[in-house]
Amino acid sequence: MKKVTLSTLQKKKQEGTKITALTAYDASFAKLFDEQGIDTLLIGDSMGMVLQGHKDTLPVTVDDIAYHTACVARGCERTLIIADMPFMSYATPEDAYKNAAKLMASGASMVKVEGGEWLTETIFGLTQRGIPVCGHIGLTPQSVHVFGGFKIQGKTEEAAQSLVDSALALEKAGAQLIVLECVPIAVGKAVSEAVAIPVIGIGAGVHTDGQILVMHDMLGVSANYMPKFSKNYLQQTGDLRASVSQFIKEVEAGEFPGDEHSFK
């Protein structure tokens, strides 16, 4: 299969074809996901919870992400690889440039940062230096203590408009992709329609341009609770490869997420 690039994802948005994404942390699973045809793999700071056993993502370091990015890159031939920028690794533009360069050198094709309009200078600077950026808005796990827990965002008209404004600001600054997490279905639709770049949802309803799940949730093996927005595909299929194929099939058909995985 042809290598997936940012142009591939942009074309999918324009054609109305759903983008599929999972997290990955090692070469073996990356190879399996790659062979099944997943579009994008994220080396997420979710590893803090699903791999390292922490209660949140905050203890994850740049070295952690760089190590696992290199592992994933060795297992992939075609999938687009995105590396998370962990907590406080992009507190200033200069921090972001240095740490993003390390992740790109480890094998990433793009880095992901959490936050809204305050990141525009950083995103502009990264893209000017040849580093593609994915924004992440809605529930941003690195801000868990600000939110008072892992809570749904965008529940009021004002909060929903703020997310639309943030998405537009990130796009204007140069972001080429957005992850939108834990918002009502209507907000997922509004954000996706407001920007020209692809929006990949996680707990954001079926109307986003694609879907991403944490692989441990998708396989039903997370040490933590199973989020409402996830689905145990391994339980459904009984086979690792079939579970990934089923996830891709349901996302592309608009069957996942269903109402039971979404927030009203």
Q: Per the residue annotation, which of 114, 171, 181, 250 is the catalytic one?
A: 181
Rounded CA-CA distance 233/235 in Å is 5
Rounded CA-CA distance 151/178 in Å is 19
**Which candidate, 96, 88, 78, 87, places its Cα nearest to that of 41?**
78
- Let me know if 181 is a catalytic residue: yes
Q: How many residues does the chain have?
A: 264
Say if CB 33 and CB 224 are below 8 A apart.
Answer: no
Return the DSSP state at 215. H
**Structure-token match 């409402």, residue found:** 228
Rg over alpha carbons for the chain, rounded to the nearest Å, is 17
**Which candidate, 219, 144, 216, 220, places its Cα nearest to that of 182?**
144
**Which candidate, 49, 42, 16, 90, places its Cα nearest to that of 222?**
49
Rounded CA-CA distance 108/257 in Å is 27
Q: In this structure, how many other beta carbons lie within 10 angstroms of the beta carbon of residue 54? A: 15
- What is the end-to-end Cα distance of the chain in Å, rounded? 37
Q: In this structure, how many other beta carbons lie within 10 angstroms of the beta carbon of residue 63? A: 12
User: What positions carry a catalytic annotation?
Assistant: 181
